[in-house]
Structure 1
Amino acid sequence: MVTRPEQEYAWWQKALIKAKIWQPPHRTLHHVVRDMERPVPPPVTGAYGNRIVTATRRRLVPQHGDDQR
């Protein structure tokens, strides 16, 4: 059930809103999510993590000078 925004305020705030003296700050779900604490990123899983090891990995297409390594 969706509640109207006026129901979240005190009686004096509702009176100010009705008299059009005060406007509550505009906050949508976007604002709430934006201000939330960010989750911790998961650990990197894989053989080498974020590193790409090219020294030990064979190339798919042989290059000139590969046999000298």
Structure 2
Amino acid sequence: MVGYALALALPNGKFDIAHAARTPGDPVRRRPRGNALRKPAGILVVREADMDELGWYPNVETPEAR
């Protein structure tokens, strides 16, 4: 399931693992919703990446990059 964490119509306590990725600037803000979605002994995973510093290998030019 992919979507905006605060707008997903999911029951609380349903998942063993809740994962929040690409949380703009502040992955901790998604913590309360992730904690609500996971089961009591479940795992909450959050991550943040500096998208400006990411690269692809091999380097492939896209039409937008030209």
Fold conserved between structures, TM > 0.5: no
TM-score if structure 2 supplies the norm length? 0.23
| Structure whose residues are more often strand by fraction | 2
TM-score if structure 1 supplies the norm length? 0.22
